[in-house]
Amino acid sequence: MGLEFDYMREAMERQHISGDGYFTRHCHAFLEKELGVNKVLLTTSCTAALEMIGILLDLRPGDEIILPSFTFVTVANAFVLRGGRPVFVDIKPDTLNIDPDLIEARITKRTKAIVAVHYAGIACEMDRLLAIGHSFGIPVIEDNAHGLFGRFHGRALGSFGTFATQSFHETKNITCGEGGALIINDPKYADRAEILWEKGTDRRKFFAGLVDRYTWVDIGSSFLLSDLLAAFLFAQLGSRDRIQALRRRVWEYYFSELSALAASFSIGLPFVPDDCENPFHLFYILLPSEFARDELIDWLRAAKIGSAFHYLPLHLSRMGLSFGYKKGDYPVTESVSGRLLRLPFYNSLSQTDQDRVISAIEDFCASSPAIWRAKAGQ
Ligand SMILES: *Cc1c(COP(=O)(O)O)cnc(C)c1O
């Protein structure tokens, strides 16, 4: 905790705790400068920012959005809400990001966007995705919920797409409990984005003195984040270096301490390509089989260590099946989803606690040879 309480008190003293206040403007300026982006609007969530994109793209029923199946549900739902159809693409087995080689075959006349989700904050191949988008005239959107302060070829994630979204949910590196941001890199969408954000009115123009009254001019909703939460967020952004340093230490310790074990037992560790800068959002391992992964979860639970997995492939969910997808459609996604395990990862995780996690995994490997023999059959 840094200045969160002080800034929230200041927001109250300023008597402006609704949206678009003093701290919101500070967060906008901070993010615009740090990420080198054209325009930022704080939203109530990353999901809300994705929903705004669905409106800005004038999505019509039957329009298609290309996205990975290995991702969070709202990446699909924000567009499905407007009648869009999710068109899934498989991921690459190394970075677990959307596979650029598989995208072109999925593009049709109805494709309205390609969503690049930077899994674990490791960049998608943005040069290739932007080239595909450019050649078909389709905007690329970055879901950068995991990737705040990550980089690709030295450039901040969130600065590549026509739009990008951030999440400040409690589970993310920088948080205000619930919150998000829409980044608008193509200035042609900027005015309309402000109108949608302000419930479909030109209220922002009114406060800027550009119109003499404000009125209903478009569809929209209330997407603004309370300035009380923006105050909390601004304190978090100010602690960025401290937070990122803590997370880096946790990530690098897992990586170095697990390397030898991973090599002997065919356990996959995160892959960070040379042209990517890691923002240290999460740490996962990939077990050789789903059976081994589930056994390890139980083993860790018995040692009172909480681990987690994600994502159940969207194409195999009840909603995914209703769009006609079936098992076998995205083999890498299905395999990774069954084998991935996320280790405990938070800012205050001590090295002693990490050592407990690491020894428990070592003990598991040493005591369960059958699991590794079963590997070929899984
Ligand atoms: C967390 C997350 C979201 C949703 O964020 P909210 O702020 O909770 O709406 C979207 N996409 C990805 C990849 C996420 O990890």
- 68 alpha carbon to ligand 1 midpoint, in Å? 14
pLDDT band at 371 (very low <50, low <70, confident <90, very high): low
Confidence of residue 376 (pLDDT cuts 50, 70, 90): very low
Q: Are 22 and 11 in contact (CB under 8 A)?
A: yes
| Ligand 1 pocket member 146 (CB < 6 A) | yes
Say how far apart CA 201 and CA 10 lie, in whole Å: 28
Task: State the Cα–Cα distance between residues 94 and 109, nearest whole angstrom.
Answer: 31
pTM of the model: 0.96
Q: How many CB atoms lie within 10 A of CB 33?
A: 10
Distance CA 300, CA 169 (A): 26
Ordered DSSP codes for 233-247: HHHHHHTHHHHHHHH
The arithmetic mean of pLDDT across residues 42-47, rounded, is 98
Contacts of 38 by beta carbon, 8 Å cutoff, 6+ apart: 32, 183, 184, 185, 186, 187, 190
**The dihedral sign for the CA sequence 350, 356, 361, 365:** positive
Q: Is the pLDDT of residue 352 over 80?
A: yes
**How large is the average pLDDT for residues 320-349?**
98
Which atom of ligand 1 is closest in space to residue 71's alpha carbon? 13
Predicted local confidence at residue 368, as pLDDT:
73
Tokens 């969207």: give the residue: 314
Could you tell me if the CB of 74 is within 6 A of ligand 1? yes
- Is the pLDDT at 86 greater than 60, yes or no? yes
Name residue 10's amino acid.
E
- Domains in the chain (CATH in brackets) are 4-238 (3.40.640.10), 240-376 (3.90.1150.10)
pLDDT exceeds 50 at position 160: yes
Q: Is 124 in a helix, a strand, or coil?
A: coil
